[in-house]
Homo-oligomer: A and B are copies of this chain.
């Protein structure tokens, strides 16, 4: 059922974190440390450390004489990669994918524009390489190979933007892309238009054409949003 885990702490943290983000324990639910200790058959020490971490993610709040209270979704640290992973693994995965895709659609075009200004030659090379990789794997049911290049491509763009906040969204984008491939389509080959757009973005960055890189990436984003019916029809 629950992951084996190579440490008690990780195991309990994963189990509890997953349960809370999945919506078992509605907000306001109170947990007590020694009850949890009994339930997981570990010492209170381990539970306390887990609770502290959960508290730093604002999933719970611990108060004396009360216990550990589960907090409402609104206060969760939704940018915490760990929280994102838990939520993507849980029930509201679709909702989560939507939110994240909208975030992507805002960030990536700007990142691409900055990348056109800041990318190193090496990054330009990798961008082209990955784009060509996407072309090569875009036909004939090579979804997994395609995904690898797609993820790498977007990661390079985010890194090349030179903005630390953007760069850290690489993992999020990877999750979203993987989620999309592994659910949604998986059967049909990727949209040829999208593939072309990626190649053109690589070109634009290489030519230092920021406006074009941004506009093209915005088109890619629109495509991704359409896939999820986020836009009005």
Task: Digitize A157-174: 1 where CB-to-B-CB distance is under 8 Å, 0 elsewhere.
Answer: 000000111111000000
Residue ID in chain B nearest A81 by CB atoms: B77
Q: Are B114 and A110 in contact (CB under 8 A)?
A: no
Chain B residues with CB under 8 Å of A103's CB are: 107, 163, 165-166
How many monomers of this chain does the complex have? Answer: 2
Task: Digitize A44-83: 1 where CB-to-B-CB distance is under 8 Å, 0 elsewhere.
Answer: 0100110011011100000000000000011001111110
The interface size of chain A toward B, counting residues with CB under 8 Å, comes to 36
Does any Cβ of B come within 8 Å of A106's Cβ?
Answer: yes
Chain B residues with CB under 8 Å of A114's CB are: 102
Residue ID in chain B nearest A163 by CB atoms: B102
Q: Are B82 and A165 in contact (CB under 8 A)?
A: no
Min Cβ gap A41→B in Å is 20
C-alpha gap A78/B168 in the complex (Å): 8
Does any Cβ of B come within 8 Å of A117's Cβ?
Answer: yes
Does any Cβ of B come within 8 Å of A111's Cβ?
Answer: yes
**Which among A53, A111, A117, A167 has the highest number of chain B CB atoms within 10 Å?**
A53
Q: Are A163 and B79 in contact (CB under 8 A)?
A: no
C-alpha gap A110/B167 in the complex (Å): 19
Does any Cβ of B come within 8 Å of A232's Cβ?
Answer: yes
Does any Cβ of B come within 8 Å of A100's Cβ?
Answer: yes
